[in-house]
Amino acid sequence: SQQGEEDPQALSIQEGENATMNCSYKTSINNLQWYRQNSGRGLVHLILIRSNEREKHSGRLRVTLDTSKKSSSLLITASRAADTASYFCATDSGAQKLVFGQGTRLTINP
């Protein structure tokens, strides 16, 4: 399996509910980043968490990082229809190249 694997592959929830996506990776990292991609579009950077950080917030987003388990989670609270997108985690091991997972496809139902 690859560095930066997201789980679940697809998630469908009702508007207003919280969405949690997980990411696991294999090697040591400098930082881990979460990106959003709307269908057929480019990537939008959401949040970066460094290896010495455990939790970070940005608006309705909350990211945690557990380096002992080599895992991260992205929580989107009070979801909206506009949050429908694919979400990718990407790890940076210090070589300036990001390693992406396969992504979680999130659908918010009105």
Partner 1 sequence: NAGVMQNPRHLVRRRGQEARLRCSPMKGHSHVYWYRQLPEEGLKFMVYLQKENIIDESGMPKERFSAEFPKEGPSILRIQQVVRGDSAAYFCASSPPGTRGEQYFGPGTRLTVT
- The binding site for partner 1 (CB under 8 A) comprises 2, 4, 30-31, 33, 35, 40-45, 48, 88, 90, 92, 94-103
Q: How far is the CB of 19 from partner 1 (least distance, A)?
A: 18
Cα R_g (the chain), whole angstroms: 13
Which of residues 19 and 32 has its CB atom nearest to partner 1 in the complex?
32
The answer for residues whose C-beta is within 8 angstroms of residue 15's C-beta and 6 or more apart is 79, 80, 81, 108, 109, 110
- CA 76 from chain centre, in angstroms, equals 10
Residue (79 or 91) nearer to partner 1, CB? 91
Q: Which is nearer to partner 1, 7 or 92 (CB)?
A: 92
CB of 45 to partner 1, least distance (A): 5
- In angstroms, the Cα distances linking 68 to 13, 45, 72, 101 are 30, 25, 11, 19
Report the nearest approach of partner 1 to the CB of residue 103 (Å). Answer: 5
Least separation in angstroms between residue 16's CB and partner 1 is: 28
Cα separations in angstroms, 108 against 15, 45, 66, 69, 84: 6, 20, 27, 29, 5
**Smaller CB separation from partner 1, 10 or 78:** 10
